[in-house]
Amino acid sequence: YYGSLINPTTLTSYEASPNCLIAVSSQGNIDWIVHDVIDSLVQETLLQKGSLDAEVTVLHPGQFLMPGFIDTHTHAPQAPNLGTGYQYELLDWLEKFTFPMESKFKDVYPSIVEKFIAFGTTTCCYYGTLHLDSNKVLADIKCNMDRHCPDYYIEESSKVSVANTEAFIAYVRSLPFGPSGVPLVYPVLTPRFAISCTRPLLSSLGNLAASDHNLHIQTHISENTKEVENTKKLFPECSTYAGVYDSFGLLRHNTILAHAVHLEEQEIDLVKQRKAGISHCPTSNFNLRSGVAPIGKFLDRGVKVGLGTDVSGGFSPSMLVAMRNASIASTVVALQNNPTTSSSSSEEEGKFTNRQLSLATLLYLATLGGAEVCAMDHQIGSFAPGKSFDALIVDVRDRTQNVGLWGISDLGVNSSTSGKDALEEMLGRFVFCGDDRNISAVFVQGKLIGGTSR
């Protein structure tokens, strides 16, 4: 591919490379990347690299390549509930809206995965339901829950729950790998949250985890104050919510903790110590009035953070919406704690605490940060030789109308800027004003699987 490229590098920086040549092998891995290749030198560069017979896709002006989004937390069976139920807070919302919908997923699964792909998500951590067969259809995650759930939506016993989980893991691991020779789908241990799991269940899941270091784990943590209160009542032997998961061996390098709105100081330290990651779900946190997670503080403490859409607590499967709400959430925190300015908090607080997250940080959280949270940053999340080509071709021009959505004929180009500056502007326009219509191609392991051009 030859054209403009956006590539996250650190929490505060990304590459914006206007004339980039990126080589992808037939297995879908990135072979090499060369920056600043002017048009007339493309052939020569290919010759030097021994890739003269390569087929070159040239991006148009107004297009750029970027890594696909990584959604670290969402619920596939809640998609039919999108946009409804926000009159309730978490525990009532689960009882009145969510459990009734999920319980219907025994036999069928609508294809919502394609929707996530259209929005540019190339890796997604789905929660399924408690039903083994429908999870096989989703080929994703088995959700465990054997108590404090309605009679019509609860597992028979912790034994059945664990047996189904083992069957599910075996099933997912038997699925064919992708072109790169690595899995396309991974099983994830999913104790729904502490409230919905008995000690025997958590203990069995902990044993399963201990026997398999590579098995991913995901759960909810400290989303809502009533939830935290109930959890502490149910597990009086643990001093904190995070301590509950930790006591069953469920906090580790590949654990994804959704929400983390109300973590205590010692819990943040524990999460950091265990190298677990946090999935920030700001849209859902606003909708269900759960609170505002102090993401800047987590980042300054060196905790891994990614973003989650949390459908249907969140009202959109689009990671662009998650990024925008992460920006607004960070602004709320900054204004609350530092009302005179959101950009100049004191130095001791660090780079991120009580500040609005920058575009670079938002990009990082939506890609490489998510990859770290999934313990898959060796394979996905950015462009680097050896990584999978999980990528988007973003097109900031509006091809469907002469005039763009907001009365601008071209979302990307401000005539006063060019090169790197123009590309950075294009990224900002896409993140804050774009949607699925601006995603013309979606690749996973090098294979075109979605986008408007397909």
Footprint of ligand GUN (CB under 6 A):
75, 90, 94, 98, 192-193, 220, 223, 284, 310, 313
Extract the tokens encoding 436.
Answer: 């699925």
Q: Give me the least distance between CB of 22 and ligand GUN, in Å please.
A: 37
Q: Give me the least distance between CB of 68 and Fe ion, in Å please.
A: 21
- Collect all residues with Cβ–Cβ distance below 8 Å to 236 and sequence separation of at least 6: none
Distances from the Cα of 25 to the Cα of 80, 179, 296, 388, angstroms: 38, 10, 38, 10
**Could you write out the DSSP letters of every residue in 359-418?**
HHHHHHHHTHHHHHHTT-TTTSSS--TTSB--EEEEE-B-SSSSS-TTS-SBSS--TT--
Residue pointed to by tokens 């920056």: 35
Is the CB of residue 263 less than 8 Å from the CB of residue 245? no
Which CB sits closer to ligand GUN, 8 or 313? Answer: 313
Which CB sits closer to ligand GUN, 188 or 391? Answer: 188
Is the CB of residue 187 less than 8 Å from the CB of residue 173? yes
- What type of residue is 216? H
Which CB sits closer to Fe ion, 310 or 390? Answer: 310
Q: Which does 193 bind (CB under 5 to 8 A by kind): ligand GUN, Fe ion, none?
A: ligand GUN
Residue 246 binds Fe ion, judged by CB under 5 A: no
Residue least distant from ligand GUN (Cβ): 313
Sheet containing 255-259: order of strands = 142-144, 188-191, 216-221, 255-259, 277-280, 304-307
Which CB sits closer to ligand GUN, 198 or 284? Answer: 284
Q: Give me the least distance between CB of 75 and Fe ion, in Å please.
A: 6
Residue 398 binds Fe ion, judged by CB under 5 A: no
Interface with Fe ion in residues 267-326 (CB under 5 A): 310
Q: Which does 98 bind (CB under 5 to 8 A by kind): ligand GUN, Fe ion, none?
A: ligand GUN
Q: Which does 94 bind (CB under 5 to 8 A by kind): ligand GUN, Fe ion, none?
A: ligand GUN
Counts for the chain of helices (H) and strands (E), in that order: 16, 15
By CB under 5 A, the count of residues binding Fe ion is: 1
Q: Which does 271 bind (CB under 5 to 8 A by kind): Fe ion, ligand GUN, none?
A: none
Q: Which does 383 bind (CB under 5 to 8 A by kind): Fe ion, ligand GUN, none?
A: none
Which CB sits closer to Fe ion, 326 or 413? Answer: 326
Q: Which does 188 bind (CB under 5 to 8 A by kind): ligand GUN, Fe ion, none?
A: none
Q: Give me the least distance between CB of 139 and Fe ion, in Å please.
A: 20
Give CA–CA dist 437/321, Å, rounded.
14
Residue 71 binds Fe ion, judged by CB under 5 A: no
| 3-state DSSP assignment of residue 72 | strand
| 3-state DSSP assignment of residue 423 | helix
Q: Which does 370 bind (CB under 5 to 8 A by kind): Fe ion, ligand GUN, none?
A: none
Which CB sits closer to ligand GUN, 90 or 268? Answer: 90
Is the CB of residue 68 less than 8 Å from the CB of residue 443? yes
Which CB sits closer to ligand GUN, 92 or 436? Answer: 92
Positions that interact with Fe ion (CB under 5 A): 310
